[in-house]
Structure 1
């Protein structure tokens, strides 16, 4: 018996159970056969589309927009059903308690059936994530937000007081389908008119040619003091099958060449000094280093020749690098810029009050600005999207940081 058969059968049983349970809400809510039929038909179509996509998925092609859409539609119908199940299960517990009391007291009153208003509440609550996912797939992934910070440092050279940085991350060009929307995002980056633009990795999903149709868009990015970049975990081509090892090596070189084509100085465990009025700050970039991911980055190599007293900005794609290595390093990296998490592309954020995403159960620093002992890390939520073809509550981000002399 194939190893995958038992997990597949268990998954099918789980799906049937979920569908049967949520269908009870529709039965109670409406006796209209068309509504009931539509509920069943849509679910069947989405599940079939996902399973067919999964079965025919070819890892040598990488993760295509078609695969992402199949995943997105599956989540769009599944998450709301979990909400329905939670509400109905709560009522079932209540009904079970009443039944137990009746048995204990000897009452013979029949147990009340599923109440219509409970089904209405369940479906009403489920409509919120359903609408959110639909919006996230259609428009949310293009809902670019400019987030601005002003950071003060005692050891910032006077000449860099007011120096501005625009950080972008996680382009994932292989997921893009709408050139007009992406052009809007690029124009928004240029409107910030920052001194430098820093890109913190994942320019593609897997293959260099994913960027071919977008070179003429991203080469329009402008910054008077330069554009600098690093690699992310997806840039190494590790998440697809290659016909032979040389193809992967060639692809990796082409990915690195993309940065030059769009005018970025790619830092591969290297540093550059940015100079103004005879003063300077160090800009360092490491290859990807992530806990549980590719750990190609060499911080010591990137810092070779950099002094402890130098003001330093480090670009490192994965924020776990800061948590595990950077923040306690005696060389003192004042500001680290990362991405990688995307904030899972779904969550709830109320600026200044509340921020939640399942991403926080994996990464201690998962979105936004964090500070420990005077050392900062900004985790950019990403410009593009991957796996799920949308964003729900966690919007694509353009970060603008102004450095100030304390």
Structure 2
């Protein structure tokens, strides 16, 4: 309900901005088009939010869901781009009205024409930006190969390959076939280990198909997974039971919740630590305390003769992992901000570790831009299945 009220508010704000910037635009049939689009987007979003319907008719009607999201995004951008123009124009007009000595008429007219033209460009800019972002968001993932050079890495692990998926968000916009294709991409790359770093699913009606897709892992050392915030929000107990059932059935998939799993690769012992999502519900106040508890519990079985790797949904766990010897930490959660220009995330200030590689001494972190999304809008941050090859230095 909260999301629907937010979308309604965004549409009202967009209408108010357009009415101010371009008074003649929303009249007659064009006003009808705007109202129809706003109502349709709200109805589609409402149906998509109802339990049990995401796997019904709406699951086969992806264009309707994309339209609803596209309309909402365009309205949001009209409000965001247009509000400053409205405020600047109001300030200029008030300033002109208060002057005792009027400026030259051509100056006032020039300013007014400039602001009018800028205002009329707002809906065009908003529609173009949302269209580009939506096209990128629904275009599917990229397979992203990269080498990770780790000083002192044992020769036995030189060339060890890890496939990472994260933030798939099986639900309204991502189905189980998409997840299946991501697992297949890691199979095709012949990685030694597959990892899933949280936010796997939003719609529990698709839980069985989601687990079936994960079970198709063919990696030599199987797949290791950790929990994200969306598993905690959507139905933690159901997700944990599904993972447990998958492991009990003999599928090569294991969930790590403040725990670790060790295996041997070419005679070298490797331990992968998996930590739980650090916040309870939506509260961020307990993050630091929870991360410390997770670090103490999950690393307790580590030994000096092992190469340590760490999986954490939240990238802020990286310093804890590095302090305890994890050579490489893999994380997600941020989606890379979903918007970046020239490789720089537009919202890079939100997270300390937003996207890409980070170092702390000889320890490294990689934050994936995400394999899926709960909102199909991306510019400069494509969805990815990451193939990491470890190299000794």
Band the TM-score falls in, shorter-chain normalisation:
0.7 to 0.9
The answer for unaligned runs of 5 or more in structure 2 is 60-64
Q: Following the alignment from structure 1 to structure 2, what is the Cα–Cα distance between the partners of residues 402 and 114? A: 57
Aligned-partner Cα distance in 1 for 2:240–2:330: 23
Which digits, 9 at most, give the CA deviation of each residue in 1:72-118, with x for residues without a partner?
Answer: 64233222332123234334433444334xx2325696964995664
SS in 2 for 1:288: coil
TM-score, structure 2 length as denominator?
A: 0.77
Change over 3 Å in CA distance of 1:251–1:108 after alignment to 2: closer
1:219 lines up with 2:215 in the alignment? yes
How many residue pairs get aligned? The number is: 373
Which has the larger displacement, 130-139 or 368-377? Answer: 130-139
Match of 2:43 in 1: 49
Contact 1:142–1:182, Cα closer than 8 Å, also in 2: no
Q: Describe the superposition over 1:340-384 as per-residue Cα deviations: whole angstroms up to 9, x where unpaired.
A: 22234x312423xx3322xx3432112221112222111122212
CA distance in 1, matches of 2:371, 2:380: 14
CA distance in 2, matches of 1:137, 1:148: 24
**Which of residues 90, 93, 100 is equivalent to 2:91?**
93
Q: Secondary structure at the match of 2:22?
A: helix
Aligned counterpart for 1:150 among listed residues 140, 144, 147: 147
Matches within 5 A, 1:6-405: 16=12, 18-27=14-23, 33-43=28-38, 45-46=40-41, 49=43, 53=46, 61=51, 73-100=71-98, 103-105=99-101, 112=109, 115=112, 118-137=115-134, 140-176=137-173, 181-205=178-202, 207=204, 209-236=205-232, 238-239=233-234, 249=237, 252-258=240-246, 263-290=252-279, 291-292=284-285, 295=290, 298-308=294-304, 310-323=306-319, 325-327=320-322, 329=323, 331-344=324-337, 346-351=338-343, 354-357=344-347, 360-386=348-374, 388-405=375-392
Going from structure 1 to structure 2, the CA distance change for 1:143 and 1:94 (only over 3 Å counts) comes to farther
**What 5-or-longer segments of structure 1 have no aligned partner?**
241-247
Q: Residue 150 of structure 1 aligns to a residue in which SS?
A: strand
What's the C-alpha RMSD, in Å, of the aligned pairs? 3.9
- Does the C-alpha gap of structure 1 residues 177 and 95 become closer, same or farther in structure 2, counting only changes over 3 Å? same
Alpha-carbon distance change, 334 to 123 in structure 1, aligned in 2, over 3 angstroms: farther
TM-score by length of 1: 0.75
Per the TM alignment, residue 159 of structure 1 is displaced from its structure 2 partner at its CA by 0.9
- Distance (whole Å) between structure 1 residues aligned to residue 307 and residue 21 of structure 2: 60
